Amino acid sequence: MLKIGVLVSGRGSNLQAIIDSMEKGSLRGKAEISVVISNVPGVQALERAKKHKIKAVVVNSKDFDDSSSYEKQVIKTLEENSVGLVCLAGYMKLLSPELVKHFKGHILNIHPALLPAFPGLHVQKKALEYGVKFSGCTVHFVDEGCDTGPIIIQAAVPVLDDDTEETLSARILEQEHRIYPEAIRLFAEGKLKIEGRRVKVLGT
């Protein structure tokens, strides 16, 4: 069974979607979360993990003199828990090239925009200001760039004339909770093959 390490920084709604899929959805019997790591103490994601009897660890980035020392501890914690796939779920730190290289091809992220449009932060605000008619979310492999890795799966939502950042974010979040577990399932079943910038889904 695929063992997953989830990196979090906040409320953990995507973490909850992954947990739910493991307990009663498409990931049941295929993957399990062996550890949840937060770089911020006291966040709701840690409580979600504990509620489901999942190991929850705080590796507070503020406790380290530099980012390299911090990420070495993150890598050590992931390895100690036999993690085969790292999932970022609201993790508000850029990964260093060292960590990306260590788990190359085994790190996924969910981003609330249709990449390559609107990478980074405040993406719903950017989408509304730009006037796009559709937005959405993307699950992608993580590389050394910011939201630049090969795309696995996307979901689109219409942008309505009366949308605010909050209403658009809420509709996108519903789709995030749907496609992130699906991307993890495809990975767990060995169906994802990276060819350059493209990700092919085998058997479809």
What is the H or E stretch that residue 70 is in? helix 67-80
User: What DSSP letter does each residue of 135-157 carry, written as one string?
Assistant: EEEEEEE--SSSS-SPEEEEEEE
Instruction: Report the share of the chain in percent with pLDDT over 70.
Output: 100
What is the H or E stretch that residue 98 is in? helix 97-102
User: CA–CA separation, 47 vs 12, rounded Å?
Assistant: 9
Classify strands 192-195 and 198-201 as parallel, antiparallel or unpaired.
antiparallel
Contact present, 96 and 119 (Cβ < 8 Å): no
Identify whether 111 is a catalytic site residue: yes
Crossing angle (nearest 10°) for helices 123-130 and 165-188: 120
Res 155: pLDDT = 98
Classify strands 31-38 and 56-58 as parallel, antiparallel or unpaired.
parallel
What does the domain layout of the chain look like in residue ranges?
2-201
> pLDDT tens across 2-35, in order?
999 999 999 999 999 999 999 999 999 999 999 9
Phi/psi at 189 (5° precision): -85, 5
DSSP 94: P
User: CA–CA separation, 70 vs 74, rounded Å?
Assistant: 6
pTM here is: 0.96
> pLDDT tens across 175-199, in order?
999 999 999 999 999 999 999 999 9
User: Dmax of the chain from CA atoms?
Assistant: 49
At residue 204 the predicted structure's pLDDT band, cuts being 50, 70 and 90, is: confident
Q: Which fold has domain 2-201?
A: Rossmann fold (3.40.50)
Per annotation, catalytic residue among 102, 106, 111, 177:
111
User: CA–CA separation, 143 vs 114, rounded Å?
Assistant: 17
| Mean local confidence (pLDDT), 49-77 | 96
CB atoms within 10 A of CB 45: 26
Residue 91, C-beta contacts closer than 8 angstroms, at least 6 positions apart: 7, 8, 9, 39, 109
Whether 145 shows a pLDDT value over 90: the answer reads: yes
The two structure tokens encoding residue 28: 């049941």
Intra-chain end-to-end CA distance of the chain, in Å: 23
